[in-house]
């Protein structure tokens, strides 16, 4: 949501987007976000959902950097639409992955309060990136530098995810919890167990 607001402000101020062009940008973001919803479960086959979320945030940061570096005037409108599609795809991917993580690690019987806490936590600081962006813009700092300043928030998010405990242990610790998608880490653990048993039987 914050990225949508900032992206629209960036396109209007730097690229002189009209109301129609802004509407096209929003449409591209929404359409591509549905594609991201399909990317999310595919990524779970290669990595854990937590690592998938980190990768997604990294790609959002990379796309934001690309916008700041390569979108500088009205002649780059077509390229901005392309970046908007990447933003939307990563946004849908992130939205799906975060909610998948939440619903699979919440203990049974605590769904209502913990899901409410999750939604609260996701909204309580959503005003901060637009505020920083606006403050820098009002201080006559280049809007492209203001856009790059968002990388700080992505970096904090990646670090916080890195500090999480084992996702697999959290899921297995729930009574009746079922992880529908096998992760790469689980597969590696199973393979190691099989190799250990085979070595023991040979001895």
Q: How far apart are CA 94 and CA 92, in angstroms?
A: 5
C-alpha to C-alpha distances, 91 to 17, 34, 74, 152, 199, nearest whole angstrom: 22, 9, 25, 18, 46
Under 8 Å CB-to-CB from 46, ≥6 apart: which residues? 184
Mean pLDDT of the 171-180 span = 52
Residue 142: pLDDT band with limits 50, 70, 90: confident
Q: How far apart are CA 101 and CA 113, in angstroms?
A: 16
Report yes or no: 12 and 96 within 8 Å, Cβ to Cβ.
no
pLDDT attached to residue 1? 66
């Amino acid at each position: 949501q914050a990225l949508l607001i900032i992206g629209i402000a960036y396109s209007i101020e730097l690229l002189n987007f009209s109301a129609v062009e802004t509407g096209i940008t929003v449409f591209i973001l929404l359409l591509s976000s549905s594609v991201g919803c399909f990317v999310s479960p595919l990524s779970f086959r290669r990595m854990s959902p937590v690592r998938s979320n980190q990768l997604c945030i990294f790609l959002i940061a990379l796309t934001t950097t690309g916008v700041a570096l390569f979108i500088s005037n009205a002649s780059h409108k077509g390229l901005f639409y392309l970046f908007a599609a990447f933003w939307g795809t990563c946004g849908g991917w992130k939205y799906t992955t975060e909610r998948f993580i939440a619903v699979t690690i919440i203990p049974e019987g605590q769904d209502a309060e913990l899901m409410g806490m999750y939604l609260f936590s996701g909204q309580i600081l959503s005003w901060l990136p637009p505020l920083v962006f606006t403050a820098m813009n009002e201080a006559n700092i280049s809007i492209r530098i203001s856009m790059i300043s968002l990388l700080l928030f992505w970096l904090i998010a990646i670090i916080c995810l890195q500090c999480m405990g084992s996702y697999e242990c959290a899921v297995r610790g729930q009574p009746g919890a079922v992880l529908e998608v096998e992760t790469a880490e689980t597969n590696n653990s199973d393979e190691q167990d099989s190799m250990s048993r085979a070595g023991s039987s040979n001895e």
